[in-house]
Structure 1
Amino acid sequence: VAEDLANAVIAVARGNTFLTAEIAEKIALQSLSGDDDPIQQLSAREFEVFRLLADGKKMEEVADMLKISQKTVANHYTIIKQKLNVSSPIEMVRFAIRHGLIEG
């Protein structure tokens, strides 16, 4: 672990990316299996909004937590629903449970 951290710092300082062997293996296996995970279509911010909404947070709470406007949260929610092909908050929660992001 300490060696990975040292290698990561060196790689990033050189302008490169760094993956541990374990993460690289998981990515490779996922690519080989053809597992097309719709969650990977979400941007980092969209994923954050998705996770909080799926966990039962209200749009106002998400906006406060992420320091963004409620309108921005609503826009992210619309995009998330399209990307994940869900049409309601209940479907979003079921999706999150199915993908192990929240407990049922």
Structure 2
Amino acid sequence: MRELDLQYPTCPIRNILGRMSDKWSLLILRSLQMNGTMRYKELMGTIPDISHKMLSNTLKRLEEDCLISRKVYPEVPPRVEYTLTPIGNDLMPAVQMMVDWALVHFEEITQQQSL
């Protein structure tokens, strides 16, 4: 097993996990995993409280990070579809573990916050 280097800029935690730990990335990745290829408006519908700007910015960043791919069809109006890449698919078991953990511990954590 590789030794974990916690020094910036070579730390995997800072560089990889930090890029996905925002409020929206995991929700978008999960939506794509559950629904397969999706268009922008479909993604917007699966996360009703995300703004257009945040969805657009997060999709661009996930594409830059090679977690999703974007396919534009030469139509009028243009049709754009998003899907998980192989790297994005490889990430999803870890995301599922986090989802499962959140489902088990959600009430316990939120009750502690209200004390």
* TM-score (norm: length of structure 1): 0.45
Greater helix percent: which structure? 1
